Structure 1
Amino acid sequence: MMPVELDVLLVPLIVLSAVSYLLLAPYIGKRTALLVVTLKFVPSAVYFSLPKKNNFGLGDGISYYQDSLALVGDAYGRSELMYPPSGVDILVSELDTQHVLYYWWNIVSVDILGTSYHAPILANIFLSVVGGVAFYHFLIESGHGSSYSRYGTVFFLLHWDVLAWTSFTNTKGTMVMLLSLTILLYLIKIKRIGKNKASIYYAVMIAASVATLYWLRFYVPVLITAAAVLWALFDSRQALLTSGLLIAPAMYVFNQWSHALDRFVFESILFGLIRFTLTPQPWSIAPNYWFLQLPAVLHWLFLIPALYGAGRLFIRRKTARILLSYLLVVVVFYSLLPDLWGVRHRYQTVFVWAWIQFHFLWTVGSMVSLTFDEDRFGTNPQSSHVPHREETTSDG
């Protein structure tokens, strides 16, 4: 791939960075938002403007981009492909698959941001920013304080897997992650408010996200439904009723694709659980995946801390259980499919990994802060006020 001319890259970069800043500033603060947006967009901009660079363009990502350009250039105008239902019909017919949404996303990105390979990647960085806003709301819905939610959101936005997968390569994992998080967020909102006019809006958003996932990665709604039912078993009757919203669409998808069960290798589950969770191994990363070298090392280093964070969240936060259930269901599901043990499928659960890793760091930081305050002021944290005590006790 040839380097992108600076003037071609600069305009979409500035526009998306500005919109991202406006989205994030109300939640994480103006200065922090400026820093986060810079750290998210600059690596990709530098990468695409350099004349010599390693090829991070993985096969699927290049295919999405090239096939989308070919459709636009060979037979159809952008307006025909960009607007449903005609666009969906054309894409399904030409590509011979129902998984056409990410091709459509590439067409829209190229049309708005430019015709080079950087367009869908910059668009995915922006999607991860939207995911950050949803993540903030999930933390708030879970009962965490504003400081915890703000720092947790920053951790998610700058998480090593998020930066690696959005900055350099064209993958649909970010879109899957955002839609999955949206469904889970609105499920807990419905559980909290019960029967209310707002719950109708939340149900519509869930339905729209489920329908969108059908055109992207069709089986994800089934996994979310399984996670919601598992969550209900740990929680309450109200959670069970809430999870019931997903049963109908999940059963439809399952009925349409039940033949795929033949691909499951049940005897591989124990090895698969370990392999899928620990992929990729830092010492065996292929050359075109070398941008995952540091993220792989950090994932391994944070594995035990993440399990500790997951345990504390499971015990102390009921709303966290739906995300933990989703992570468990996804790991078990892919452990049965040896041909899908790649790291790309683990990326769709990055918001869960980020939360449990951050919760470990927050817990350790709170303990250190309390110990420091006790040593410095000679106070007993159990009997006297400590700065930020409310955040510590409610979020630890």
Structure 2
Amino acid sequence: MKKITILGATGSIGASTLSVIEHNRDDFSVYALAAHSNVDKMYQLCLKWQPEYAVMADHASALQLQKKLAFIKSPTSVLAGMDGLCEISSSPKVDMVMAAIVGSSGLLPTMAAVKAGKRILLANKESLVMSGQFFIDAAKQYGAQILPVDSEHNAIFQCLSQNVQADIGYCDLQANGVESILLTGSGGPFRYSDISTLPQMTPEMAIAHPNWSMGPKISVDSATMMNKGLEFIEAKWLFNARQDQLKVLIHPQSVIHSMVQYNDGSVIAQLGEPDMCTPIALSMSYPNRILSGVKSLDFTQLAELTFLAPDMSRYPCLQLAIDACYTGQHATTAINAANEVSVQAFLDRKLKFTDIAIVNDKIMSKVCRLSTLSTESLESLLELDRIARIYAEELVAERT
């Protein structure tokens, strides 16, 4: 039986991971669960799954959880903060780590799992966006196995040959007959809205995703298509892709999760219901397949499959991320940091929806002009991230 640590247990990916485990109780057990500050939900999860450890991001939440569990004499030990997250990610008892903490806070515990040589079920795309080659090289050095959980990257992974799958981060796409990778995205809730109306869009409108059930931050990223931009950067690192080998397509139905075009004219696509349990199940069981609990796709119920080229005037964040991808590590780290700040400011009603791209652009440009910033170590990348956030917060303050 494989033991799993779930980082981000109270989020949508965490819930889907536990759903897959529910369907495969004889194969997997929960070693540890981690969450930010949702004490009540974590308490319920601890009651059901009885993990050895539960970790809360802040100490106050950890203390609350500890008191609630002590009252019922639960065997689960409670830890707090980054040290606790890294401990449950690197424990010798753990076989795999679901890295599903949203944002840059997921980098250190995911890296701890990498350095412990774990199977990494990578749902935290920011780890690669922030640290890129550093992350890929560390996985190789410590013998960690990276399996992509994002539906698009998991789809691409499934469409590639086994020798490419076995060489994540270092594969030669051209030598393996790959002409291009096609990243598909729904286009979010505003794909047909008049561009002139975008400044008036509210947080409630932005998080109402037409196809997927996701948290607020990722839902806003989908509306701006920054999510696709971050996935573009992640795909570059996972599949060692040149810029001309990566393309983005808007596919409103979210049935084809991504495709790979080969040099003989073939296109291989991965299709399925828009349910994250499918890629999660594959990443947990690879190279085998297990029950995910997702119903099979009924082709007779598909009215149409359509594709659109992304309009960069509608999705300036997507273009910024693509530009950052091949500018350098400082650019991708900066735009990720700026985007986390600007999206939160939008959710807090401090920025207009269209201001997200403006903040991201200005901060990326500002950081890229700072030639003294290093990207040679994890510490320097975290410092760059910190500086970019300060700049972004200052800019948000100026605009409010």
Q: TM-score band (shorter)?
A: under 0.3
Could you say which structure has the larger radius of gyration?
A: 1
Higher relative contact order (CA 8 A, sep 6+): 1
Which one has a larger percent helix, Structure 1 or Structure 2?
1
Q: TM-score w.r.t. structure 1 length?
A: 0.25
Report which of the two has the higher share of strand.
2
